[in-house]
């Protein structure tokens, strides 16, 4: 699951996660982040580097 807030500055970044994940399928991630208002690089890396593994975990429930 995407962390609720940015680790470094505490801004809530998870609110745009689902929109970000949909849009990067067809648009460059940098542009999407700009348009979603994620401006600092600490917050940008939260979304850019996140790997969703909950669905993989579920198989071993």
Partner 1 sequence: MKVELLELKENRVRFLLKGVSAAFANGIRRAALAEVPNLAIDEIALYDNTSVLFDEQLALRLGLVPITAEDPSVFSLPEECQCGGAGCPGCRLDFMVTVEGPGMVYSRDIKFTDPSVRPVVDTIPLVVLGEGEKVVIEGYATLGVARSHAKWNAGTLCGYKNLPKIEIGPECNGCGKCIAECARNILVLEAERIKVTDPLNCSLCKLCVRACETGAVKVEPVLDCFVLSIEGDGSVKARDMVWMATSEIRKRAEYLGNWLAEFA
Q: Does 31 bind partner 1 (CB under 8 A)?
A: no
Question: Residues in contact with partner 1, total (CB under 8 A)?
Answer: 20
Q: Is 49 in the site for partner 1 (CB under 8 A)?
A: no
Among 27, 30, 31, 57, binds partner 1 (CB under 8 A): 57
Instruction: Of 34, 44, 57, 52, give the one whose Cα is nearest residue 7.
Output: 44
Three-state SS for 20-53 is HHHHCCCCCHHHHHHHHCCCCHHHHHHHHCCCCC
Residues that bind partner 1 (CB under 8 A): 1-2, 4-5, 9-12, 14-19, 40, 54-55, 57-58, 61
């Amino acid at each position: 699951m995407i962390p609720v807030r940015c680790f470094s500055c505490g801004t809530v970044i998870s609110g745009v996660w689902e929109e970000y994940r949909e849009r990067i399928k067809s648009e460059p991630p940098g542009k999407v982040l700009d348009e979603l208002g994620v401006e600092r690089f600490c917050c940008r890396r939260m979304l850019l580097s996140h790997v969703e593994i909950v669905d993989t975990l579920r198989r071993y429930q």
